Chains A and B, each alone.
Chain A
């Protein structure tokens, strides 16, 4: 039971927790794999083919999930897995067709698995109604099986060779009888050629009261010059015993043809032991015959088979040969009379059958073992690590970096001290080596944190399929750059925003088929998902070839919702208009008619991306398509920063956002309507004075140090001489702002840590880091600051008019997510 899982965790033995964690991650991994396989299957299916191997993979995944969830008492998951397994088994054995309806169910179940897992972790409510609905749907599909005649026959372990030679009528009779629920028996009868006609008639007469003989065929074996062996298929309502009694006679064996799902009497289903002619003729009561067919052995064998199956290879079931009709018949009618215990250690001839069976089982057992071995191997090659542990390691690296700084200072002091000159070179070398190894370690940990974006893309592919079906639009998802790596934490946070954007692209962007044909586009819409690395950033593009976003429509919608005023609207560029979709509350939904609307939750998308230190941009052309570009930092953990000083305080500006830093002079400034701008490289650059932005009054280090000082260190007053200042040009996406600072201190790699919730109000800060000598340096959130500066200048321009609806500016608060992300 999923809730049990949760409860168990609450009680919290650490070993149990750990096991649970592993369960979650393993289950998640399997579900992800399942999703990939299903997508591949979907692909194959759409091309009109089918791939037994893939179906098998899916089956195995579900089977493993079932085992896992059973182990952890996750009843909901195990129940779902059980039903799915049945469905997949039917699929595998061709009892049902792989229709898109079935695929839908499979996709749904993958989604439900995700939700069940989330629920078990306590992140979400349990999707109980959905699971129930899905189970019901699965049940329906299961009932549909057997609707086609062939599938009924397929349920029986009949030699395909035999089925192949049935006449159409015989096949029809077989089908009809089986559909009517009759049992199927296989008789093997040895006829003397001389008397075959009468003997056969005799047999027919004996059988008739109990059932219908569907066919008789020579087995081509077990006969000799004077005799022939026939295999007779009989459909009957009677049970095995009755039938046996009715036809009892020498050289006759009767067995039930098992259904593949094993619904049969194990005793009856065991193939008779192969006896060579001599022994058969010599002695019908030959006790050797009992050896391999005693029930204990049988059930033992079944148990073994089950175990092997349970060990993860559903495939073993198919690989086990059907009870071969090719087995020579045993002594007729004697099967039931052997002592059930069998005779232990009995040598041939029983061994022949046992041996064949063992070989069969050995083969399947062997493949099971191979499976197991493979699984083991993959486990030993990869280790699942909680990202928090990596954070912890990263923190240690951060502290070591501080030690490194101290050592560097010491080394410098030693070098300058004439008394210690001798050890100076050694210390220096030591420091260098420490430095190098620390950097390697840092990179190593960073590398471990990196995961390919493909993880998210797989999920998205599933969503594309689902949404496009919901909307009855055909969409082709083209993915490039799935191998691009990004910090695991970012990947986790990315899936929801990306899903929103994809949903919007299908919902609002891609036109329906008729419309597309009308405007001369291919009927199938395309959504391209591209990822690539660009410096310290990863760029993600979501591009659709839909109808694009019409600025006029967006503006109209924004006006109607009071997001902009008329006067603002007149001054907005098309690009500015597009960004209106990121405003909270923006939607064009009201006027569904003929409007290309977007913006369902786009404000959330933007907020989420901002939390990750990224930005979203839109470009769109009406009738051609829309492209959303997300720019994200590769990692949240370690960043290179430019250390700068403003009014005595030290801040860190992420180097990734710094375009350049130039010496600044007040004379460079021009003002337009109160906004300060300067010209840089021939372009207008809005500038912001960081001291003013942060309202830093007076020059002081901004660090309270209390060692022996009775009162806080008084702010140092700087000599009156006008110092140089600098302009740090920061860019995020295509937005640029010059930040005026007093001093550039230098460049440094830092481990960025989240500020606590209590500092939520301090906007414009991405986090903080330790600078050495125990001081903390604040890291600026360049994206937020740039947006703030540009937004406030817009507001300045159209002063006052937008107090109301616009005031909830696209709230950018990077600390939110990060403090939750366990970066401390």
Chain B
């Protein structure tokens, strides 16, 4: 199953995927450190203020821990550490957890700040190749909404395949 998904992921070029995503899709933009990212809003189940998160020994370094959202266990992942933007872990008033449905489980993405929802037209999305030919599979493009923001568009599925 997993293999199937990943193969499908490889089958589509990043551009194609950006195309699929690009039909005036709605993106939620958020900050990781000083960088702005966005994911399709359809991926997001809920935006939460941080709840108590229990750290899990032996987990991957990017895992902050587990928390309980109305009785459901959610693994919280620090996207900054995942993207190797930072080594330390921070959480403050503006921190939010994006609850996303990923690969059979609920995952909480810890982000530094939630910005706003952008509706991006196809013309407002650049292919990831502008950043260089070899881009990781979770980078699907660059959003340039009117107003001057620049957002790195993410596809969550490749992030949680393994």
On A, residues with C-beta under 8 Å from B are 395-396, 398-399, 649, 694-696, 702-706, 708-712, 753-759, 761-765, 768, 770, 773-778, 819, 824
Contacts and interface: CB of A to CB of B under 8 A. Distances in A.
Contacts of B91: 704, 706, 711-712
A710 B54 contact: no
A770 B67 CA distance: 9
B105 interface: yes
Contact of B54 (A696, A711, A712, A768): A768
A759 B66 contact: yes
A761 B73 contact: no
Given A758-B75, A776-B67, A819-B105, A704 B57 contact: no
Given A702-B65, A759-B75, A819-B105, 5 more contacts: A395-B71, A649-B57, A711-B90, A762-B57, A762-B58
Contact of B75 (A396, A702, A755): A755
Given A703-B53, A712-B89, A770-B68, A776 B73 contact: yes
B73 A703 contact: no
B92 interface: yes
A398 B70 CA distance: 10
Contacts of A773: 52
B56 A765 contact: yes
24 contacts: A695-B57, A695-B58, A703-B53, A704-B53, A704-B65, A704-B91, A705-B50, A705-B52, A706-B91, A711-B90, A753-B72, A756-B106, A758-B63, A761-B60, A765-B56, A765-B57, A768-B66, A775-B68, A776-B52, A776-B54, A776-B65, A776-B66, A776-B67, A778-B54
B28 interface: no
Contacts of A695: 57-58
Interface in B22-67: 49-60, 63-67
A758 B77 contact: yes
B107 interface: yes
B-side binding surface: helix, strand, loop or mixed?
loop
Contact of A824 (B51, B52, B73): B73
A22 B66 CA distance: 36
A109 B72 CA distance: 42
Contacts of B57: 649, 694-696, 762, 764-765, 778
Contacts of B89: 704, 712
B134 interface: no
Most buried by A among B52, B59, B103: B52
Contacts of B71: 395-396, 398-399, 770
Contacts of A694: 57-58
A692 to B, nearest CB: 11
A706 B66 CA distance: 14
Nearest to B105: A756
A703 B55 contact: yes
B80 to A, nearest CB: 14
The 6 closest A-B pairs by CB, nearest first: A694-B57, A756-B105, A762-B58, A706-B50, A776-B54, A704-B53
Contact of B104 (A399, A711, A819): A819
A268 B123 CA distance: 82
Nearest to A650: B54
B54 A703 contact: yes
Contact of B92 (A706, A757, A764): A706
Nearest to B2: A757
Contacts of B105: 756-758, 819, 824
